[in-house]
Structure 1
């Protein structure tokens, strides 16, 4: 059983979406591929961008799942929880699972949600179970929430449904199949684990709640504007709003020196807008360009100073089998 799942970029609304405000995100043509075949136990091997590892997962008589070491269990927590969720949904978890992901882990590109989705669909399909996409979406979010403590519906929605969507709580509005302009994705070289970034913002909110809530509300307003720009096909408006969104995310403390450098280089290259994408504290930034040629030149500039960059296209559908 083989499954192909897109990664995603958040165009606007990070962090605020966790507190009930909207976010806008798009599926892009960077992929996770998951294959599963019957086996006598659960074996998972992964090959991410710059990261390769494997584990053998076993269940004890009392139903607990064990791996070679607790350190590995922490590293593979999303994967193990996805296998457990698939079993709860009716799948036989004993399988050899191979994962290949084009995005770096902790990149803000939805790699965790994409991998979870791939494992769920592959194991369920191998067992002849065919849940609908909304069931998969909810299961992906359940796994993210168990591992992270908090999780919005954004990543789970985009990797299962594809296209460009606005998410607010559990409500989903499909905005279209693509966005105006061309998107560049650039990796800062440092992962930004979602759980860590969420805790950072949560602590800041405990310290200065009124200020942080005000920032969250403004991020939500920006996301509403971005959704309008997508519908209107207005790349200039969308870029301006992305710039504002980056400033607000910086105020929450989730940007870094490297992410700010990527944003500034992209703007100097002619980007209409640029920002952190995803939880931040590492991971990726994105930039919007009017034409692909300028975006490609900017990618080359960023690579010349040591970053990895890609010009991506939006994709209209979610996971594929």
Structure 2
């Protein structure tokens, strides 16, 4: 085989497998080795997206989440922004007037630096930091700073966002996203270890009990997804998570659960959230495309209301029954 044929063979073999625009298919996520990785302790939003369009999906979702943060957590946003503003003002006042006036060259260098950072796998959008992941079609939006992440409930943000995307008047709204598929709020993240995940779930259930259900007992379902981690066994993890919930009086209901425990394992990290009131199923498991196409699953809400009415009727019947 001649040298020219070898070169052509290489080009054919690598076509569509890199970042080149000439290669067929969408571009893969760039991995520089310097990107911030998803680590235990982070709080935010896990997003699945069209391959090669992760950055576009990130910008779509960031805009929607920022709207919810400004609407639901205006005070927390103001408090989180205040220290940064005060620090900037102090730095400006401490500099001499001559040094404060930067040259045109400095301004250009700063703009180029910011542009270079925005083209990497990680970039900031308001109080959300995009984390490029080592798996295509996936990304994470971390809530920053830590004070804001502590004050915000990611589940409430996503529930409210999905309700507004569909609208309460029954009229289907035009889709506001194109490349984002699902958004899973992470109320907590931990090491991808079965015991650590079980402890994290137990802590979240204790902090977020099913208050909408009678006597704090609720039907539940475990939604477990494991990616790129052969050490975590799904069946064993589900058994470990289900036992304490059943022992506490919660009943299993895989079709119309009042409480959904969602666990996403990605490599060495697990993200967890608890969704109450049947809203995880009602809101199509936070799948944007499903909600745009079918709307909210009102059958779940009707079934939940019917169960509550039956329970209330049984309770009243017991109270009015004559005693012997």
Q: TM-score, normalised by structure 1?
A: 0.26
Please identify which structure carries the higher strand content. Answer: 1
Q: TM-score, normalised by structure 2?
A: 0.26
Please identify which structure carries the higher helix content. Answer: 2
Structure whose CA Rg is larger? 2
Higher relative contact order (CA 8 A, sep 6+): 1
